Amino acid sequence: MTGSGSVDVDWEPPSEACGADLEHFVRDLALCLSVHRGKSPALVWPDGIDAVVACGRTGGGSASPSAERDGDEKRDESSELTRALGAALGTEVSSSWVELPLGAESIGNTAETDLVLAPVRGSCGGRVEASPPGQVAAVLNHPLELRLLAGQALYVPRGFVYTLNNVHTPCTLQVFALHPSTGSAGPSAPGTGGAAGGP
């Protein structure tokens, strides 16, 4: 993306490691952001999300050497996805993982930069609302409330307030932070127990 209003739809992945699924995920997400970035929240079901979900379902600490190698490969794919998304958007992108245990709540988080929340395991409730008047454009007449499922991606514009709750089974999310080219503080990422915490 050059500026906030265009996207490079002819972008090609920087290496073969990204794979077709990650390429589709990046393109779908970039097209969504070309419409909504800096304006309003958006929920998208991008093609290729299975590759992201697969990365998130591979944890560390495996006893088997082959499983450890598989975990390393998945982490490499996750890093490749982050780099590829940054290349497509023409901006710096960082990513982190957030674990929400059963019954957790993360209330009143203000996105300090544009965020994309992608559940890779489990599901949780979500609520997005404009911050107090004067901080961001009030494009929402009412808060956006939804059930965020694995396979979906939720875009939260900078300055909007979001809550994650109703965690009926443990939920893992990959959080992509889209940083302005001028640089900014890191995202206010979801924590647990009602307090915001960095991812």
Q: Domain with 126 in it: what CATH number?
A: 2.60.120.650
Q: Please tell me the least confidently modeled range out of 68-72, 84-88, 185-189, 193-197.
A: 193-197
Q: Flag whether 100 is in a domain.
A: yes
Q: Where does the pLDDT of residue 110 fall: very low under 50, low under 70, confident under 90, or very high at 90 and above? A: very high
In a domain, 9, yes or no: no
pLDDT of 181-197, one tens digit each? 754 444 445 543 333 33
Could you tell me if residue 4 is inside a domain?
A: no
Residue 158, domain member (yes or no): yes
d(CA 71, CA 98) in angstroms, rounded, equals: 17
State the average pLDDT over residues 73-87.
Answer: 74
191, part of any domain: no
Residue range of the domain that includes 36: 16-179
Taking only the tens place, the pLDDT of each residue in 131-149 is: 765 555 556 678 889 999 9
Q: Is residue 1 part of a domain?
A: no
How many domains are contained in the chain?
1
Q: Which contacts of 14-18 are long-range, i.e. CB under 8 A and separated by 24 or more positions? A: 14/80, 14/83, 14/84, 14/87, 15/80, 17/76, 17/77, 17/80, 18/77, 18/80, 18/81, 18/84
Would residue 3 count as lying in a domain? no
Q: What is the pTM of this model?
A: 0.71
- pLDDT value, residue 20: 76
Does 196 fall in a domain? no
